[in-house]
Amino acid sequence: MNDVHPPVWPSGGAPRRFAFVAAPNAAARRMQADLIARYGQHTPHEAEAVICLGGDGFMLEILHTMLGRPTPVYGINCGTVGFLMNPAVPDDLPEHLVRTQAATLHPLRMRTTTKSGTVTEALALNDVFLFRQTRQAAKIEIQVDGRVRMPELICDGVLVATPAGSTAYNLSAHGPIVPLSANLLPLTPISAFRPRRWRGALLPSTAQVTVTILESDKRPVAAVADFTEVRDVVSVQIAEDRAMQTTLLFDPDQSLSERILAEQFTV
């Protein structure tokens, strides 16, 4: 489950120690300098909150660095889409953060095995996806909790998304948007050829997914967990890692749950 709740500050009052991190663009750097001049600067280890200045891609990078740490992250949009970001700098940052809503996110853990036998593990807060490396379509088998559910899927690829990531690549691949509280993981094919009408599945968040690559020599496949790409995989295991988490802050009435719900009514 990805929980939504009011933030809890170590001091019991408004936070006062901030780490301001900025994407490598002029607007973000200017905003960082202004905020440091006003509130001071601490390391993420010392801070009560990390203030991320940038877009969704930069926010995802920062959230990865904060996995397993209790310090929440508040984003201010200096990028393009800004789905994970808040729109503007609040007048009084400490008091404003007291009124925010916190979303606790748990990542997916990807474990890949390549043709050479190399095993790689990586975490994904958005999604784990597999895709064909050549002109040949991928041919894969999908197991869920040790049972073969799809003996042969011919496709460009397949993905498993977190609820928070269900509005990203998953949505572009015509997968369902999943509320944070739903305890579900969308499993979505990417350009499925056979079976042509299969649109994917909604899995419980406890599901253990194993994707086996069929005809891997003829139809090589790569796997990606957010920023980690592994090529020439022969099997990929995907499951939610409940032992890892990170916390994201949103303005009042603009929680991540509300944004995910509103996205379903966007035309």
Give the pair of three-digit tokens for residue 80: 């393009």
Q: Alpha-carbon distance 68 to 71, whole Å?
A: 9
Instruction: Check whether 217 is labelled as a binding-site residue.
Output: no
CA-only gyration radius of the chain, Å: 20
Q: Which residue, 219, 230, 215, 238, is CA-closest to 116?
A: 230
Instruction: Check whether 156 is labelled as a binding-site residue.
Output: yes
Q: What is the DSSP secondary structure assignment for residue 235, as one 8-state letter? A: E
- The single residue of 56, 92, 145, 241 carrying the catalytic annotation is 56
If phi over 0 gives left and psi between -120 and 50 gives alpha, with beta otherwise, what is residue 68? left
Instruction: Check whether 86 is labelled as a binding-site residue.
Output: no
Instruction: Check whether 34 is labelled as a binding-site residue.
Output: no
Contact 6, 252 (CB under 8 A): no
Instruction: Check whether 112 is labelled as a binding-site residue.
Output: no
Instruction: Check whether 241 is labelled as a binding-site residue.
Output: no
Instruction: Check whether 239 is labelled as a binding-site residue.
Output: no
Instruction: Check whether 171 is labelled as a binding-site residue.
Output: yes
Per the annotation, the verdict on 251 as an active-site residue is: no
Helix (H, G, I), strand (E, B) or coil at 259: helix
Instruction: Check whether 170 is labelled as a binding-site residue.
Output: yes
**Which amino acid is residue 130, in one-letter code?**
L
Measured in residues, the chain has a length of: 267
Instruction: Check whether 228 is labelled as a binding-site residue.
Output: no
Q: Which residues are catalytic?
A: 56
Output the known binding site for NAD(+). Answer: 56-57, 126-127, 156, 164, 167-172
Output the known binding site. Answer: 56-57, 126-127, 156, 164, 167-172
